[in-house]
Homo-oligomer: A and B are copies of this chain.
């Protein structure tokens, strides 16, 4: 028999299952079947299901292109965070894994390092740099997810049904905002929030220095 695989083959087969059939379709058994072997063979490449999921996260991270640093730290933070957001959004079904599993791959470290490096030139204190790093990371992953599962996700009719008719008068601010949500692209929506955060980081850096 001697069927042998590289870790990359395993990882991309797993990501393909998630992309094509959803997160629930990924199992040790379905992956093994997709590779034409028995379930137990997978345990030669991965410690357990958790390890397989980390492989999927690494495969998503591998799709992120780390931008070259410039002499403008704010532009670098923007470019790095945008690259992460695009890379994550390219695999929507994998997002729960990206949010939940530790990102410990080489690309994952590389992009995080680029982000911290850019933030290091913002004139922040050490603690401020850590806060800003967590905030950008949280904003990227959190708003990628919020756009998919937040109160305004799904089509307009669904949103209206959920908020408008069910509790329209009780929650007037949400109801009003839900109409805005139909006319803004998710790219612009994310970009707006990111620019606000970067402006706030810049202000905090100026205050320290």
Interface residues, chain A, CB within 8 Å of chain B?
96, 99-104, 106, 108-110, 112-114, 116-117, 120, 126-135, 137-147, 149-153, 162-163, 167, 170-174, 176-177, 180-181, 184, 188-201, 203-204
Contact in complex: B100, A145 (CB < 8 Å): yes
CB contacts (< 8 Å) of A113 on chain B: these are 170-174
Contact in complex: B102, A149 (CB < 8 Å): yes
The one of B134, B143, B194, B199 in contact with A193, judged by C-beta atoms closer than 8 angstroms, is: B134
CB contacts (< 8 Å) of A128 on chain B: these are 192
Q: What is the count of identical protomers in the complex? A: 2
The one of B130, B145, B200 in contact with A189, judged by C-beta atoms closer than 8 angstroms, is: B130
Give the dominant DSSP class at A's interface: helix
- Distance in angstroms from A203 CB to nearest chain B CB is 5
Supposing A109-B167, A199-B200, A199-B203 touch, asked if A130 and B173 sit within 8 A by C-beta, the answer is: no
Contact in complex: B171, A109 (CB < 8 Å): yes
